[in-house]
Amino acid sequence: MKRYVIVGNGVAAAGCIEGIRSADPEGAVTVVSAEKHAVYCRPLISYYLEGKTDPERMRYRDPGFYERMGAEVLYGRRGVGIDAAAGTLALDDGSVLPYDALCIATGSSPFVPAFEGLDSVKNRFTFMTLDDAMALDRAVRKDSRVLIVGAGLIGLKCAEGLRDRTAEVTVCDLADRILSSILDGECAALMQRRLEEHGIRFLLGDSAVRFAGCEATMRSGATVPFDILVLAVGVRANTSLMKEAGGAVDRGILVDSRMQTSIPGVYAAGDCTEGEDISSGKRRVLAILPNASFQGYTAGVNMAGGSAVFDKGIPMNSVGFFGLHAMTAGTYEGDIYEERTDHSLKRLYTEGGLLKGFLLIGCEERAGIYTSLIRERTPLSSVNFELLKKGAVTAAFSPEQRRKKFGGEV
């Protein structure tokens, strides 16, 4: 009987368990879970703050999942060392788990810069886990002034989640625009306007450098008083297990399309990995839930002796604030087709006869048709791209393509 060990208990781990079981109903599966929760929907923690969901509905799988899958979960435990030669994983309680195949699905952690005086701030939080969200939920009062450092996805979703619960939400970022990793200035401005209309305050191009109790001093010299501080500067892939074992690591654990790492028998999946972004041809950390799910399943199948590849990784995000959605996918390179109104913006990026990326704000209908063109690397010469510029429609495909898509099972 094969022994499978998964380090981490997020979406990639759940996918991995399911992948293993698709190929091996017998083997022993052990999951090492640092968090004391069954797998949950991490991106929903801001909706939890907002009161739109609760821990029960945030479960990623039903309560009988692990039992049905025959997986044992060690809650509150961490993997601390891999002995690849012996095929063992050491845990933080001193125990050792032998494995035939190991999957590292350790996710990422908030990056907290060494701000001067940070220890003097009593009410400080990061925003990454359900426990983080619950702690913040308990701390926030109707009259709290909240300062969020970081105007990325995590910081802004936190801001949205808290907005109606508290007096004041201010977000600062050293970058001159919000969501700087996925939006350019113009698109960011559209989203920022929506957030501001709902009462979120911004301090951009300026960030906190020093803290003293309930006051932040900004780079510009301005001071910002607050009651609650949320640090959402960025995240780092949790790669230390792999690094210490001598495996290949860059910004994430390097994996091939089978989710195999540089160490035989060791796989990795999810936010801790760095794989290929097929839209740019470059390696990237694609820390998004869908990729964690695809990668986890792929790793599991291969760990169990099956054969699966995931070679369609691209960055993609659907992010909405107060009803305005921005959808982004792929890479922003090449020729641009653009359409805009006062409240919407569409940009399609093409290069070498392929759709490489897009950016849609306020016009997200059926966007997956565009995404599939990127993922499938569909030659634009084979479709009616003029029609696709106007809107995402399958009628732009050739009769032969339509017959394949709609004439039988897919």
Partner 1 sequence: MKRVYVNEAWCLGCHLCEYNCAFANSGLSDMVLALKGRPIRPRIRVEEGDRITYAVSCRHCTDPICVKSCIAGAISKAEGVVRIDRTRCVGCLTCVLVCPYGALAPGEDGAMQKCELCLQNACGAPACVAGCPNRAIVYEERGEAE
The residues of the shown chain that bind partner 1, judged by CB under 8 A, are 15, 41, 43-44, 47, 52-53, 57-61, 289-290, 293-294, 297, 316-320, 325, 327, 329, 364-369, 371-372, 376, 384, 387, 392-396, 399, 402-410
Residue linked to tokens 């898509």 = 405
Nearer to partner 1, 60 or 349 (CB): 60
Q: Which two tokens stand for residue 320?
A: 């909405």
**Contact yes or no for 63/55 (Cβ under 8 A):** no
Cα 140 from Cα 395, distance rounded (Å): 50
Q: Which is nearer to partner 1, 77 or 347 (CB)?
A: 347
Token digits of residue 81: 């060392």
Cβ count near 222 (within 10 Å): 12
> At its nearest, how many Å lie between partner 1 and the CB of residue 43?
4
Nearer Cβ to partner 1 (28/363):
363
* Distance in angstroms (rounded) separating the CA atoms of residues 252 and 295: 14
| Closest CB to partner 1 among residues 144, 317 | 317
Q: How far apart are CA 101 and CA 84, in angstroms?
A: 10
CB of 129 to partner 1, least distance (A): 15
Give the residue from 298, 290, 289, 288 showing the smallest Cα distance to 268. Answer: 298
CB closer to partner 1 out of 30 and 371: 371
Give the integer Cα–Cα distance in Å for 160 and 3. 43
The residue among 63 and 225 lying less far from partner 1, judged by its C-beta, is 63
The two tokens of residue 32 are: 């090492």
Residue partners of 104: CB distance under 8 A and separation at least 6: 7, 8, 79, 241, 242, 253, 261, 266, 267, 268, 269, 272
To partner 1, the closest distance from the beta carbon of 104 in angstroms equals 20
Tokens representing 4? 């499978």
Backbone φ and ψ for 126, nearest 5 degrees, come out as -110, 175
Residue 337 has which token pair? Answer: 């087709």
CB of 5 to partner 1, least distance (A): 23
The H or E element spanning position 154 is: helix 153-163
CB of 345 to partner 1, least distance (A): 16
Nearer Cβ to partner 1 (251/405): 405
**CB closer to partner 1 out of 149 and 308:** 308
Q: How far is the CB of 207 from partner 1 (least distance, A)?
A: 28
Tell me the residue type at 156. Answer: L
User: 197: Cβ–Cβ under 8 A, 6 or more apart, which residues?
Assistant: 322
- Shortest separation between residue 51's beta carbon and partner 1, angstroms: 11
Looking up tokens 């107060």 gives 322
Please name the residues in contact with 243: beta carbons below 8 A apart, sequence gap of 6 or more.
249
Minimum Å gap between C-beta 145 and partner 1 is 27
Residue 118: DSSP 8-state: G
Nearer to partner 1, 212 or 387 (CB): 387
Closest separation between CB of residue 76 and partner 1, Å? 23
